[in-house]
């Protein structure tokens, strides 16, 4: 079963410094029909204006990932981490027993566009942790690479959940066939370009949930990238 979450049907909140689009219910946006997908709880598509950002605030028992599309994001937390996250990097923070952090656009003139992703963990109260790695030299044309896995690896952060996040990069008119575990759920989030997935058409910022399928064919209509979530 495939179900499209069209980009223009998402929740939309604009605070001036933040233009936020919510795939699932978040903050003051509440839609009982869109509360998440399996362990995938949040996909926020944020545009942060120059100098804007989230002041120090707490999190607990959540796996929080940041994926930068344009610009950069400055991260600080109570574990002592201070970093700049840029396109071509994957960042994950396990909030665990509790952590405070802040996120700001370090540029006063350029906007930052990003996805923030939350996955509910399968372990609660763990010691908070932070990982950030570049993946650019691992990108494969017309194929997928692992960004996050339960085991982690060399420059691949781990996650406290039965979940794998992959990045697919495709030139125009290329395709890939994936064998799926029909007991698991899958979510595709289109970062850029447009695609056909088992003949369903999706474009930039659209999402697509997949369940009870053993095979998936992804074909690029335009050059583009997708995030693919495999969720137990």
Domain locations in the chain? Answer: 10-134, 138-231
- Please check whether the two domains, 10-134 and 138-231, share a CATH topology: yes
Q: Which residues, 6 or more positions from 183, have their beta carbon under 8 angstroms from its beta carbon?
A: none
Dist CA 67 CA 2 (whole Å) = 24
Chain CA centroid to CA 209, Å: 14
Joined together, the tokens standing for residue 73 give 């994001």
Q: How confident is the model at residue 144 (pLDDT cuts 50, 70, 90)?
A: very high
At 199-212, the pLDDT tens digits run: 899 999 999 999 99
If residue 59 lies in a helix (H) or strand (E), which one and from where to where?
strand 53-59
Q: What is the CA radius of gyration of the chain?
A: 17
User: Mean pLDDT throughout 155-162?
Assistant: 97
At 21-71, the pLDDT tens digits run: 999 999 999 999 999 999 999 999 999 999 999 999 999 999 999 999 999
**The pLDDT of residue 106:** 98
**The pLDDT of residue 78:** 98
> Which of 28, 33, 32, 61 is CA-nearest to residue 44?
28
At 58-114, the pLDDT tens digits run: 999 999 999 999 999 999 999 999 999 999 999 999 999 999 999 999 999 999 999
Question: Is 167 in contact with 217 (CB distance < 8 Å)?
Answer: no
At 178-189, the pLDDT tens digits run: 999 999 999 999
Question: Is 173 in contact with 220 (CB distance < 8 Å)?
Answer: yes
Dist CA 190 CA 207 (whole Å) = 6
Question: Is 111 in contact with 68 (CB distance < 8 Å)?
Answer: no
* Average pLDDT value over all residues in the chain: 97
**The pLDDT of residue 121:** 98
Reduced to 3 states (helix: H, G, I; strand: E, B; else coil), residue 176 is: strand
- The pTM is what? 0.96
Place of tokens 């069209």: 6
CATH dotted code for 138-231: 2.60.120.10
The class (CATH top level) of 10-134 is mainly beta
Beta bridge partners of 102: 76
Dist CA 11 CA 58 (whole Å) = 23
Question: Is 73 in contact with 105 (CB distance < 8 Å)?
Answer: yes
Place of tokens 């399996």: 38
**The pLDDT of residue 72:** 98
**The pLDDT of residue 195:** 98
């Amino acid at each position: 079963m495939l179900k499209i979450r069209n980009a223009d049907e998402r929740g939309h909140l604009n605070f001036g410094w933040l233009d936020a689009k919510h795939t699932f219910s978040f903050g003051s946006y509440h839609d009982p029909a869109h509360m998440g997908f399996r362990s995938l709880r949040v996909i926020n598509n944020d545009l942060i204006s120059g100098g804007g950002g989230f002041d120090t605030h707490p999190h607990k028992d959540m796996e929080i990932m940041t994926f930068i599309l344009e610009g950069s994001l400055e991260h600080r937390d109570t574990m002592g981490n201070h970093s700049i996250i840029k396109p071509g990097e994957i960042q994950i923070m396990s909030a665990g027993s509790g952590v405070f952090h802040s996120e700001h656009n370090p540029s006063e003139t350029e906007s930052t566009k990003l996805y923030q992703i939350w996955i509910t963990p399968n372990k609660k109260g763990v010691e908070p942790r932070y990982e950030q790695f570049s993946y650019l030299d691992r990108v494969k044309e017309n194929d997928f690479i692992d960004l996050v896995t339960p085991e982690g690896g060399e420059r691949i952060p781990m996650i406290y959940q039965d979940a794998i996040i992959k990045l697919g990069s495709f030139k125009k008119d290329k395709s890939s066939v994936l064998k799926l575990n029909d007991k698991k759920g899958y979510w595709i989030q289109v970062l850029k370009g447009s695609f056909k997935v088992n003949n369903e058409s999706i474009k930039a910022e659209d999402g697509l949930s997949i369940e009870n399928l053993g095979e998936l064919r992804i074909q690029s209509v335009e050059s583009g990238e997708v995030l693919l979530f495999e969720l137990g």
